[in-house]
Amino acid sequence: MLLTTMELPDVVLMAASIVGFIALYKPLVGLVKWVWAMFLRPPKNLKEYGSWALVTGSTDGIGKAMAFELASKGLSLVLVGRNPSKLKAVSNEIRERHGEQVEVKSIVIDFAKFSGEEIAAFIKEGIEGTDVGVLINNVGLAYPYARFFHEVDLELMGSVMRVNIEGATWVTRSVLPGMLEKKKGAIINICSGSVLLPSYPLVTLYVAAKAYMAMLSKSINLEYQQYGIDVQCQRHSARQAYGGLDMSMYACPIGHIVCSGAFYVYYQMHYGIGVSCDTFLGDLRRSKERTQVPIEENIAEEEEKEEEEVKERESSDEILGAAITANGSSLSLV
């Protein structure tokens, strides 16, 4: 009896140790996988997917950097952009740097001005005879400045949707058959860390389009991974400044999806669970009261202000015109 009583603490300690090990096992395994993926695993040989890569939005920023990186791995390139002179400059720079070992083709198209079927036709014609194994959907279009949803003009609204949603969708649709035929390929969709935030007002349409890209990536990854096609959505790091506050996003890969968890936590710490419109107003919307006034009243107030400004300009023009006439000047006011 005494022996049993003395052994009881050991049994409790062992049971607690087992429970603790079970509780820690999953996060520890996750940590090991993350360290392996981030720092230890060897890079893939991208040429195993195919000898060509197609990059949209390849004349600036991330797309241009991707093009140069892929060329450094020995992949030939199909560059897609809307500016012929920029495409020519990037193509020449790649040829100068890598010589004859890398071929470069260009497709000039503005996704904002063509339908999905027309985009698909352009891409199919441009990649004919090439072994495209890697697709980088990078092209994107955002607002020139933050604005309320009802203030987005119809032309801009259509362009944002065609470039960010239809463009990537139809390009992917055009490239997939070739990847399915050889049962291998890689599709990388450039997304935005903003889709991880609880809300992102004043750029609503842009963020909604990026959320579409994130869901598209996850869904087609499940559809086509059995055919040897890898799909990745990259929510790239970004630096944004609102009201003088400089915020950085740090990307960390989790499986196929790259998320910006550090930025998400940082943002919630500073701005709470919901994101206030006033955070984004800056010079455009200085008054917090605006977000509390019905939209109809805001529109009426703006129209009244515009009418007053027009009347003031007309009045000043009349005074100036009268002064010029009195001085005998022949100057005409337009």
Give the residue numbers annotated as catalytic, written as ranges: 206
Strands 76-81 and 104-108: parallel
On the 0-12 / 13-18 / 19+ scale of CB atoms within 10 A, 125 is exposed
CA distances from 199 to 183, 212, 236, 272, 274 (A): 38, 15, 18, 11, 7
Helix axes 168-182, 116-127, angle to 10 degrees: 40
- Alpha-helical runs (H) found in 81-166: 84-98, 116-127, 154-161
CB-CB contact of 227 with 220 (8 Å)? no
Alpha-carbon gap, residue 206 to 194, rounded angstroms: 10
Contacts of 333 (CB under 8 A, 6+ apart): 317, 320, 321, 324
**88, amino acid identity:** K
Q: What is the dihedral of CA 165, 169, 171, 176, to 10 degrees?
A: 160
Helix axes 84-98, 61-72, angle to 10 degrees: 30
Alpha-carbon gap, residue 121 to 127, rounded angstroms: 10
Which DSSP letter does residue 103 get? -
What is Dmax (Cα atoms) for the chain? 124
CB-CB contact of 105 with 82 (8 Å)? no
**Neighbouring C-beta atoms of residue 51, cutoff 10 Å:** 16
Length of the chain: 334
CB-CB contact of 56 with 82 (8 Å)? no
Decide: helix, strand or coil at residue 246: strand
